Amino acid sequence: MIQTINTTQRRLLAEWEQHAAVLLAWPHADTDWAYMLDEVAECYASIIEAITESNRVILIAPETEIPQNRLRHIDPRKLIIIKAPTNDTWTRDYGPITVEVDGKPRVCDFQFNGWGLKFAACYDNRVTAHLCDTGIISAPRENKLDFVLEGGSIETDGNGTLLTTSKCLLAPNRNNTLSRHEIEQRLIQDFGLNHILWLDSGALAGDDTDSHIDTLARLAPNDTIIYTGCQDVNDEHYSELQSMAGEIQKFLTPSGQKYNLIELPLPDPILDEDGQRLPATYANYLINNSSIIMPVYNQPQKDLLASQMLKIAFPEHKILTVNCLPLIKQHGSLHCATMQLYHDTISL
């Protein structure tokens, strides 16, 4: 845990603040989804339908047409399609990150390098600039392409606290010339932070992101941390997630109080066709304007328990679930596929 003094008027917005829209990218034949397009398209349509119950969707798509039957249940007034090439669909990690400067929103455009040069990212890295150039994003864009940062690697409470993992932010395949202190100072500078919480433990098998925080632990209102737990001593994640839970239990708020903690179950193992475990987690939910949209994995008891635990943290929100077994086949889930855009950042 690092505590610092916020000397700026910048503020990184919490996900539970009101959004104007949610950004997604449609899976297409030039992505890794090519072999399972029908299956994943159905999943994306379900996510979009859930979001548009209380919000709008901005959907990035290539020049090829989206089959209209896929989105026939979507209110066309709540769906805006923007033509642009993409390498992949994980907008959480290459979409704009919103800050307030003197109370007015700006979007930060960080460099996305395919989770440490693991995958191509040439098109995805241009998406935020493209949205600004087309005028869909009307807020000023801050060019921060000198620093690699993915949206799934950071969590905030909107009051100057940031939660992240050292395995991701300190990975040599991202900002390898910078020390931990230098990365902290950059985060403070860009987001106006006064409190940084580092998790050193926590990892899921099959995770390509080097332990993104949004698969492990999430901040919630009222000084709450929701985290992925593991109580099965025979599970390969047991030791790592128990260590992570121990770290979280020691975290203190800026006022020196312990956080309220809510533990989510770990889904039973989901394996790919080669028998390798996939990184399924309930922590990868999206906080929408009046709902929590949570991934489920055809595990009725654990799916229900996870939704009940989230309801404790968000009693005023409706809990909506989407079967994300298709998404997990490409090692991501629902939160990874979405990025919220706040009021006064877009022109619609």
Q: Give the pLDDT score at 13.
A: 98
pLDDT value of position 69: 79
- pLDDT at site 285: 98
Name the band, by pLDDT with cuts 50, 70 and 90, for residue 35.
very high
Mean pLDDT value across residues 54-65: 89
Q: Is the pTM of this model over 0.75?
A: yes
- pLDDT at res. 43: 97
pLDDT-derived band of residue 67, with 50, 70 and 90 as boundaries? confident
Residue 68 has pLDDT above 90, yes or no: no
Distances, alpha carbon 295 to alpha carbons 38, 86, 142, 267, in Å: 19, 23, 32, 11
**pLDDT of 7 over the 80 cut:** no
pLDDT score at 196: 98
Beta strands in 236-290 (DSSP E): 260-264, 286-287
Closest C-alpha among 25, 144, 20 to residue 84:
25
Please, what is the average pLDDT of the chain? 95
d(C-alpha 193, C-alpha 43), whole Å:
36
Mean pLDDT score, 67-95: 92
To the nearest whole percent, how much of the chain has pLDDT over 90?
Answer: 92
Q: What is residue 63's predicted lDDT score, i.e. its pLDDT?
A: 77
- pLDDT(1) > 50: no
pLDDT (average), residues 47-55:
97
SS3 264: strand
Q: Is the pLDDT of residue 66 over 80?
A: no
Provide mean pLDDT across the span 99-107.
96
Q: Where are the alpha helices (DSSP H) in 236-297?
A: 238-250
Of 33, 31, 84, nearest to 59 by C-alpha is: 84
3-state secondary structure of 266: coil
Mean pLDDT check: name the lowest of 39-48, 60-69, 216-225, 284-293. Answer: 60-69
d(CA 140, CA 110): 14
Phi, psi of 185 (to 5 degrees): -65, -35
Model confidence pLDDT, tens digit, residues 112-143: 999 999 999 999 999 999 999 999 999 999 99
CA-based nearest residue to 144, from 194, 177, 189, 100 = 189
For the segment 41-52, the average pLDDT, to the nearest whole number, is 97
Taking the C-alpha atoms of residue 118 and residue 174, their distance in angstroms, rounded to an integer, is: 11
Tokens for 59?
């959907």
Condensed to tens digits (0 to 9), the pLDDT of residues 192-234 reads 999 999 999 999 999 999 999 999 999 999 999 999 999 999 9
